[in-house]
A and B are shown apart, each in its own frame.
Chain A
Amino acid sequence: MNEVLATSPGTQTAVARKRDIGEVLLQVDNISLRFGGVQALAQVSFDIRKGEIRAIIGPNGAGKSSMLNVINGFYQPQEGSLIWKGRRLRKMRPHFAAKEGIARTFQNIALFKGMSTLDNIMTGRILKMRASFLEQAFYLGRARREELENRAFVERIIDFLEIQHIRHVPVGKLPYGLQKRVELARALAMEPELLLLDEPMAGMNLEEKEDMVRFILDVNEEYGTTIALIEHDMSVVMDISDRVVVLDYGRVLADGTPDEVRNDPAVIEAYLGVQHD
């Protein structure tokens, strides 16, 4: 497992790119989450700053996905709270999270299988649409205008992610790598302020991975989108993230820049020590 932590010096230069990291966007404060007897998260605290790429790493079952689910309000923690843009929230709800611009992709692809690529991405615009169902039924006024505006917006994302050719294909028929990309497109359609990516490169071949890394960096740089990223490929993590938080058995094991984390004895211990999958 040693080589997992090692990155080739050549790729390190990527970190050197310029990035404006601003104030705290989201503060995770002392979150604990249990499922029956399983302690998925235990007193987890860390923050995510505006504009950064924040990696969350850790072995399988460490609680990474659960952390994202807490952040967008899908799981309700037993203890602790979230502070979003300086406001302490009594409770995070998925709808509120979406409205506030927290978007996410899933570890296991969660696309709408019966719909085309275009329609999948268009669902990401639903919160931006206001037309009443009567306007929609008659395809009049706001309904028509919104449909065309949002279609234009979505087309920009389609161009950006280079998926023009699969626009009208039902997503169920797409290969795995493209499905992951459509999922990213759907998240981007929400114009997110904070983008949560749960293992966006898992199961991809090298070329697909490189594309995905490029997209993530572009999103971050061009749109200034803050990104929280779960990823197992350490070279990628060390390359593109500004700061890394390490979870293990639901606890924060380490938190810092890639270099700090890499050299943290506890982290080395965890990764070199007994495997617990």
Chain B
Amino acid sequence: MDTLYSIFVEPFRQIAEAPLFFFEVLIGGLAAGVMYALVALGFVLIFKASGVFNFAQGAMVLFAALFFVGFIDLGLPIWLSLIITVMVMVALAFAIERVVLRPLVNQAPIILFMATIGITFFLDGFGQTIWGSDVRRLDIGIPEDPIFIGDMLLNSFDLFAAAVCGVLVAGLALFFQYTPTGRALRAVADDHQAALTVGIPLNVIWTIVWTVAGLVGLVAGVLWGAKLGVQFNLALIALKALPVLILGGFTSVPGAIVGGLIIGGGEKVAEVYWGPVIGGAIEDWFAYMLAMVFLLFRPEGLFGEKIIERV
């Protein structure tokens, strides 16, 4: 009885009693959700353009962050570290296209998926072999002061991250809408045959999307790293982008954002209000369970279309 009460009544009573606190929690969660969305965005870009489910997106986040903070710790200025890291990510995209994707073209999606798990391990190992596995602080001067909006206590870092995410999404939207390369990419996403008529070889397109995804990963890595320190854990946190994708659908950029917000907000609220009742740290699995239950009812995701298979 007590348990039932503390699960079904008490949390709502608390919410009703202190709505302000609830909103603070929710917004804190949404801020984390923005960062999940950033990782998910990288997935979506690659999936749309090449049909590859890139499990390594999280590893790319860690990889980029490791290199960035590594160069800074070597004493390079931030801007130079950034440029070098960008170059590293471009080189990585080239290498992945050449070494992994090209030989596996036309393989079953599941094989490519497993190959990206291989990439994940390689990148995790490689990054740490070079830079070690100690937690590194990344301070690039993002403000972290608490600020009040009305009566609500918010973290300026979260707002900054949300703003960066917004700018990034807008930038990507413009890129896809107004540049020839972007339009070509969209054409490929809609129809792989169309790619041929656009006149850009498929492998160039793949390299470009992997580069873009790598750069999105870099942004996510810098933000996560500044918040939590750069460490191996980043790769695991980034895995949360997977349930985000399931919620949002694998091909939808708005889906990635909405999914990220739902997961981020949902898990924070669940942790704060329900966590203590059942043992705490439910953030570890909440997102995955939510996604799994969701899959049972709507396998195509929030924004995906229902497809009847043909025979």
The A interface, classified by DSSP as helix, strand, loop or mixed, is loop
Residue count of chain A within 8 Å CB distance of chain B: 9
Instruction: Mark out the residues of chain A between 104 and 129 whose CB falls within 8 Å of any chain B CB in the assembled complex.
Output: 106-108, 110
Q: Does A75 sit at the interface, judged by CB under 8 A?
A: yes
Q: Does A69 sit at the interface, judged by CB under 8 A?
A: yes
Q: Does B311 sit at the interface, judged by CB under 8 A?
A: yes
A56 CB, nearest partner CB in chain B, Å: 15
B141 CB, nearest partner CB in chain A, Å: 52
CB distance B311 to A35 under 8 Å?
Answer: no
Interface size class of B (residues with CB under 8 A): under 10
Q: Does A65 sit at the interface, judged by CB under 8 A?
A: yes
Q: Does B1 sit at the interface, judged by CB under 8 A?
A: no
Q: Does A74 sit at the interface, judged by CB under 8 A?
A: yes
Instruction: Mark out the residues of chain B between 259 and 311 whose CB falls within 8 Å of any chain A CB in the assembled complex.
Output: 308, 311
B111 CB, nearest partner CB in chain A, Å: 13
Interface residues of A (CB under 8 A from B): 35, 65, 69, 74-75, 106-108, 110
CB neighbours (8 Å) of B308 from chain A are 35, 75
Nearest CB in chain A to that of B307: its residue: A35
CB neighbours (8 Å) of B311 from chain A are 65, 69, 74, 106-108, 110
Nearest CB in chain A to that of B305: its residue: A36
* 9 A-B residue pairs with CB within 8 Å: A35-B308, A65-B311, A69-B311, A74-B311, A75-B308, A106-B311, A107-B311, A108-B311, A110-B311
A144 CB, nearest partner CB in chain B, Å: 34
Q: How many A-B residue pairs have CB under 8 A?
A: 9
A102 CB, nearest partner CB in chain B, Å: 14
A196 CB, nearest partner CB in chain B, Å: 11
Nearest CB in chain B to that of A74: its residue: B311
CB neighbours (8 Å) of A35 from chain B are 308
B306 CB, nearest partner CB in chain A, Å: 9
Give Cα A75–Cα B310 distance, bound, in whole angstroms.
9
Nearest CB in chain B to that of A108: its residue: B311
Interface residues of B (CB under 8 A from A): 308, 311
B124 CB, nearest partner CB in chain A, Å: 31
Given contacts A108-B311, A110-B311, 5 further A-B contacts (CB under 8 A): A35-B308, A65-B311, A74-B311, A106-B311, A107-B311
Nearest CB in chain A to that of B309: its residue: A74
A251 CB, nearest partner CB in chain B, Å: 21
A228 CB, nearest partner CB in chain B, Å: 15
B249 CB, nearest partner CB in chain A, Å: 18
Give Cα A110–Cα B308 distance, bound, in whole angstroms.
17
Nearest CB in chain B to that of A72: its residue: B311
A38 CB, nearest partner CB in chain B, Å: 11
CB neighbours (8 Å) of A69 from chain B are 311
Nearest CB in chain B to that of A65: its residue: B311
Nearest CB in chain B to that of A35: its residue: B308
Give Cα A75–Cα B308 distance, bound, in whole angstroms.
9
CB neighbours (8 Å) of A108 from chain B are 311
Give Cα A204–Cα B311 distance, bound, in whole angstroms.
20
Give Cα A110–Cα B311 distance, bound, in whole angstroms.
8
A94 CB, nearest partner CB in chain B, Å: 11
CB neighbours (8 Å) of A75 from chain B are 308
Nearest CB in chain A to that of B308: its residue: A35
Please name the 9 residue pairs, one residue from A and one from B, whose CB atoms are nearest each other, closest first.
A106-B311, A69-B311, A74-B311, A110-B311, A35-B308, A65-B311, A75-B308, A107-B311, A108-B311
Nearest CB in chain A to that of B310: its residue: A65
CB neighbours (8 Å) of A106 from chain B are 311
CB neighbours (8 Å) of A65 from chain B are 311
Give Cα A35–Cα B306 distance, bound, in whole angstroms.
11
CB neighbours (8 Å) of A110 from chain B are 311
Nearest CB in chain B to that of A198: its residue: B311
Give Cα A75–Cα B311 distance, bound, in whole angstroms.
10
Give Cα A185–Cα B228 distance, bound, in whole angstroms.
61
Nearest CB in chain B to that of A104: its residue: B311
Give Cα A65–Cα B309 distance, bound, in whole angstroms.
13
Give Cα A108–Cα B309 distance, bound, in whole angstroms.
13
Give Cα A82–Cα B43 distance, bound, in whole angstroms.
45
B309 CB, nearest partner CB in chain A, Å: 9
Give Cα A43–Cα B308 distance, bound, in whole angstroms.
21
Give Cα A65–Cα B311 distance, bound, in whole angstroms.
8
A127 CB, nearest partner CB in chain B, Å: 19
B282 CB, nearest partner CB in chain A, Å: 36
Give Cα A180–Cα B109 distance, bound, in whole angstroms.
26
A29 CB, nearest partner CB in chain B, Å: 22
B308 CB, nearest partner CB in chain A, Å: 7
B284 CB, nearest partner CB in chain A, Å: 35
B108 CB, nearest partner CB in chain A, Å: 10
Give Cα A163–Cα B308 distance, bound, in whole angstroms.
34
Give Cα A106–Cα B310 distance, bound, in whole angstroms.
11
A78 CB, nearest partner CB in chain B, Å: 12
A86 CB, nearest partner CB in chain B, Å: 28
Nearest CB in chain B to that of A68: its residue: B311
Give Cα A107–Cα B311 distance, bound, in whole angstroms.
7
Give Cα A225–Cα B308 distance, bound, in whole angstroms.
30
A88 CB, nearest partner CB in chain B, Å: 24
Nearest CB in chain B to that of A110: its residue: B311
B110 CB, nearest partner CB in chain A, Å: 13
